[in-house]
């Protein structure tokens, strides 16, 4: 019987187990993870988990006993320490080993720490990547009046929103010129920052932290411009780094993540890599995406291949975030856009990014209908900017069943 070992207990691992069951995988499955928790839903950790009474077990996709009952051999709290590709074994932290016929690395990513040059002698700076991190932050928030969030990406802003709604004094420090600099366009970023400021959040942009110390239960931060901040809590949310140590020590190719092909396969034809730890080819370079969509779609690709079905990973990336009463959703990558067109209706915004006369990405706020239609249309092929303008940005006039599409599109097309 084939022995499949999955290393990691994040969303990618959970999605893989579900896909394998859906495709009736007949081999033996072993799940290895350094956390004591089974795979769980991580996005709520920076949102409702901080502000509501939620038991960690409520986030589990399946409880350990349910996984065991489905025939999965569990090694939780006993992470992978060594990978031997010749012997096809994984040595665990406890010293025991597990053999594999096929291996899937879903090791995720680790929170990026403050730069080495930053004096962090005070200690106690929070990060947020897993349940235990969230539990520690939540416990400290109960007595805290103020928090400094270092980093204005999705996680940093989600925590800032959660803390503002709890009545905390929130300051966000960001090295870039704007919020969401790596993940969204400037138009969406401007709207989001304004909403945060309306809830009392303060921003210090183009600013870095040079020193963090602690005295009398308070954190003291020294900033690049010479200013100082004092807060009860400090959260470092400056991104994540792929967890590649196991793969790198085993000699697998690394390029900003574990290198894979369009089948999520590494240079070793018995080893796949999926999720936040993996990079894949796209537009002549290797790309690493940190998103639930990426983890789920890669897991489905690998499950199909393990079960003998054809599959190739060619994603249309999409992302989402909840902040206050706003649902942020993005589809496509706006990098390299030549321009953007904004359509707003009350508390709803759609921002269309274009290049070479084609729509390449869409950012939305409280416009889920536009987001979902854009995902369908862009997945089907290119979307000309002039066609979108012709239909007055109403994608429902473009979207149609496949046998109706040619008529629907041709009736709206105009001469360029």
Question: Does 217 lie in the same domain as 137?
Answer: yes
CA angle centred on 271, ends 268 and 273, rounded to 5°: 115
pLDDT > 80? residue 120: no
Q: Encode the chain in three state secondary structure.
A: CCEEEEECCCHHHHHHHHHHHHCCCCCEEEEEECCCCCCECCHHHHCHHHHCCCCHHHHECCCHHHHHHCCEEEEECCCEEEEECCCCEEEECCCCEEECCEEEECCCEEECCCCCCCECCCCCCECCCCHHHHHHHHHHHHHCCEEEEECCCHHHHHHHHHHHHCCCEEEEECCCCCCCCCCCCHHHHHHHHHHHHHCCCEEECCCCEEEEEEECCEEEEEECCCCEEEECEEEECCCEEECCHHHHHCCCCECCCEECCCCCECCCCCEEECHHHEEEEECCEEECCCCHHHHHHHHHHHHHHHCCCCCCCCCCCEEEEEECCEEEEEEECCCCCCEEEEEEECCEEEEEEEECCEEEEEEEECCHHHHHHHHHHHHHCCCEHHHHHHCCCCHHHCCCCHHHHHHHHHHHCCCC
pLDDT in tens, 140-157: 999 999 999 999 999 999
pLDDT value of position 413:
36
Would 125 be classed as within a structural domain?
no
User: Do 27 and 61 belong to one domain?
Assistant: yes
List the single range of 51-55, 101-105, 250-254 with lowest mean pLDDT: 51-55
pLDDT for residue 248: 97
**Closest C-alpha among 306, 358, 355, 309 to residue 335:** 355
Between CA 21 and CA 19 the distance in angstroms is 5
Query: Regarding predicted confidence, which is higher, 187 or 244?
Result: 244
**Residue where a domain stops, chosen among 306, 335, 355:** 306
Distance, CA of 414 to CA of 416 (rounded, Å): 6
**Which tens digit of pLDDT belongs to each residue from 329-350?**
999 888 888 999 999 988 899 9
For the chain, what is the domain count? 3
- 208-237 confidence digits (pLDDT tens): 999 898 888 899 999 998 899 999 999 999
Residues 10, 100 within the same domain: yes
Q: How far apart are the first and last CA of the chain?
A: 60
Residues 46, 138, single domain; the answer is no
Mean pLDDT of all residues in 386-410: 70
Q: From residue 78, how far is each of 3, 68, 96, 179, 216 by CA, in Å?
A: 19, 16, 9, 38, 37
User: Confidence class of residue 400 from pLDDT cuts 50, 70 and 90?
Assistant: low
Q: Where a domain ends, among 221, 238, 255?
A: 238
Least confident range from 9-18, 297-306, 398-407: namely 398-407
Distances (CA, A) of 230 to 134, 161, 221, 244: 22, 19, 6, 35
Is residue 114, in this structure, part of any structural domain at all?
Answer: no
> What is the spatial distance between Cα 328 and Cα 320, in angstroms, rounded to a whole number?
5
Boundaries of domain holding 335: 325-412
Q: What is the mean pLDDT of residues 373-384?
A: 90
On whether both 146 and 226 belong to a single domain, the answer is yes
CA-to-CA dists, residue 381 to 177, 358, 378, angstroms: 34, 11, 5
Q: Over range 123-129, report the average pLDDT.
A: 87
**Is residue 402 included in any domain, yes or no?**
yes
Report whether pLDDT(403) > 50.
no
**Residue 78 belongs to some domain of the structure:** yes
Average the pLDDT over 86-115 and give the result. Answer: 95
- At residue 309, does pLDDT exceed 80? yes
- Inform me whether the pLDDT recorded for 407 exceeds 60: no
Between β-strands 326-332 and 258-259, what pairing exists: parallel, antiparallel or unpaired? unpaired
CATH number for 224: 3.50.50.60
- 340 versus 382: the higher-pLDDT residue is 340
> Could you tell me the pTM of the whole model?
0.90
Distance between CA atoms of residues 172 and 377, nearest Å: 36
183 pLDDT more than 70: yes
Q: Which of 279, 306, 333 corresponds to the end of one domain?
A: 306
Which range is least confidently modeled, 179-183, 325-329, 334-338, 405-409?
A: 405-409
Say yes or no to pLDDT of 351 above 60: yes
Do 405 and 369 lie in one domain? The reply is yes
pLDDT at position 335, please? Answer: 81
Residues 234 and 245 in one domain: no
Give me the mean pLDDT over the 58-81 stretch: 95
Same domain for 222 and 245, yes or no, is no
Looking at the fold, whether 295 and 331 belong to one and the same domain comes out as no
186: pLDDT strictly greater than 90: no
Give the CATH number, domain containing residue 404.
Answer: 3.30.390.30
């Amino acid at each position: 019987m084939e022995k499949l070992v999955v290393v990691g207990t994040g969303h990618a691992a959970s999605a893989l187990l579900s896909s394998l069951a859906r495709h009736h995988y007949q081999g033996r499955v072993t799940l290895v993870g350094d956390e004591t928790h089974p795979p769980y839903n991580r996005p709520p950790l920076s949102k409702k988990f901080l502000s509501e009474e939620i038991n960690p077990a409520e986030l589990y996709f399946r409880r350990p006993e349910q996984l065991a009952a489905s025939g999965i051999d569990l090694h939780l709290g006993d992470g992978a320490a060594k990978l031997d590709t010749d012997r096809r074994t994984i040595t665990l932290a406890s010293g025991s080993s597990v053999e594999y016929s096929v291996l899937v690395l879903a090791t995720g990513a680790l929170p990026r720490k403050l730069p080495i040059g930053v004096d962090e002698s005070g200690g106690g700076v929070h990060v947020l990547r897993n349940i235990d991190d969230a539990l520690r932050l939540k416990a400290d928030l109960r007595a805290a009046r103020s928090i400094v969030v270092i980093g204005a990406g999705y996680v940093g802003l989600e925590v800032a929103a959660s803390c503002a709604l709890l009545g905390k004094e929130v300051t966000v420090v960001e090295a870039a010129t704007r919020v969401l600099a790596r993940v969204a366009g400037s138009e969406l970023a401007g709207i989001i920052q304004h909403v945060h400021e309306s809830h009392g959040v303060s921003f210090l942009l183009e600013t870095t932290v040079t020193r963090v110390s602690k005295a009398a239960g308070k954190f003291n931060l020294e900033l690049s411009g010479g200013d100082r901040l004092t807060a009860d809590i400090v959260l470092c949310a400056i991104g994540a780094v792929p967890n590649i140590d196991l793969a790198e020590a085993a000699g697998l190719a690394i390029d900003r993540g574990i290198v894979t092909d369009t089948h999520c396969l590494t240079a070793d034809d018995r080893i796949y890599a999926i999720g936040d730890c993996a990079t894949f080819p796209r537009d002549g370079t290797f790309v690493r995406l940190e998103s639930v969509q990426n983890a789920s779609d890669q897991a489905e690709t690998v499950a199909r291949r393990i079960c003998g079905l054809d599959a190739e990973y060619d994603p249309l990336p999409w992302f989402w975030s909840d902040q206050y009463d706003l649902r942020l959703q993005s589809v496509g990558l706006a990098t390299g856009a030549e321009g953007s067109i904004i359509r707003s209706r009350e508390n709803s915004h759609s921002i269309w990014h274009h290049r070479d006369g084609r729509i390449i990405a869409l950012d939305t706020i409280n416009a889920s209908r536009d987001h979902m239609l854009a995902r369908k249309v862009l997945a089907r092929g290119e979307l000309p900017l002039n066609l979108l303008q012709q239909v007055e940005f109403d994608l429902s006039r473009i979207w149609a069943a496949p046998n109706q599409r040619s008529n629907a599109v041709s009736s709206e097309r105009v001469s360029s």
